[in-house]
Amino acid sequence: MSLGPYQTLLVEMVAPHVLKVTLNRPEVRNAMNTQMGHDMLDLWTRLTADAGEVRCVVVTGAGQAFCSGGDLKQRDGMTTEAWRLQHELFERALWTLIDLPVPVIAAINGHAFAGGLEFALMCDFMYASEDARFALTEASRGIMPGGGGTQNLPRAIGERRAKEIILTARPFSAQEAFEWGVVNRLYEPAELLPRVMETAEAIAANAPLSVRQIKKSIRYGMQMELRTAYRFEIEAYNHLIGTEDRLEGIRAFNEKRPPKFAGR
């Protein structure tokens, strides 16, 4: 499967079954312009249709930032209609990302502000550099979060703290992000990507059909009444019973060897 090349993204397989995606506009702290919207939508759509050998995705930023949000220089003087059309493109890209069947880990190597933080919150979870900074700054620019921020942040850290962050538009530190549950782990800058890769490779080594069903069960089950979610989980579980990977997993355990999952 061929992915890219893209004008604003670097896409490369960096380990067996692990795809690394780098937001590549470092001169503007990887701000999202219209082209990046098109590139992301194309990439996530292709991976949704056929992930091929990809079993886990790592997303990070080039240079000293993860993503500073929408490109306000491009937006300066933009007509209302052009702004809406661009935002609809960003919406489609983000919604396609959150529904991606394979897991996506965000490696926050620097600032994740505004739409950049919203983008990270669309990933399954994130690790961050100890010097990273976070903010949803939209209220200080006359707009509001429109990439899921008012929904994903309170679900991650609770309603009251999310209101404080969004209404004040004040940045918060990586340590605060860790303590509040925005990020899973913190690392020194040089250690961030190696540690993220360890986690991505561990996920990619597991049965890919199992990983997909688990992600789907958690994502949709969290939106259901609990008893219905239990039933949804069992439906996902039952899809795995007849797979070759289930037979391989049990066989490998009894033969005391690592399993070789084929995604079938």
CA dist 13 and 22 (Å) reads 11
Catalytic status, residue 198: no
Q: What is the DSSP string of 101-138?
A: SS-EEEEE-SEEETHHHHHHHHSSEEEEETT-EEE--G
Q: At what angle do helices 149-157 and 159-168 cross, to 10 degrees?
A: 140
| Active-site entry in 27, 118, 164, 255 | 118
| Active-site entry in 138, 179, 201, 244 | 138
| Residue partners of 104: CB distance under 8 A and separation at least 6 | 56, 57, 58, 59, 97, 122, 123, 124
Catalytic status, residue 159: no
CA dist 33 and 73 (Å) reads 9
Token pair, residue 92, equals 């489609």
Beta strands (DSSP E) in 50-209 are 56-61, 65-67, 104-108, 111-113, 125-129, 133-135, 172-173, 185-187
* Contacts for 258-264: CB closer than 8 Å, 24+ residues apart: 259/207, 261/205, 261/206, 261/207, 261/208, 263/55, 263/207, 263/208, 263/209, 264/209
Cite the active site residues: 118, 138
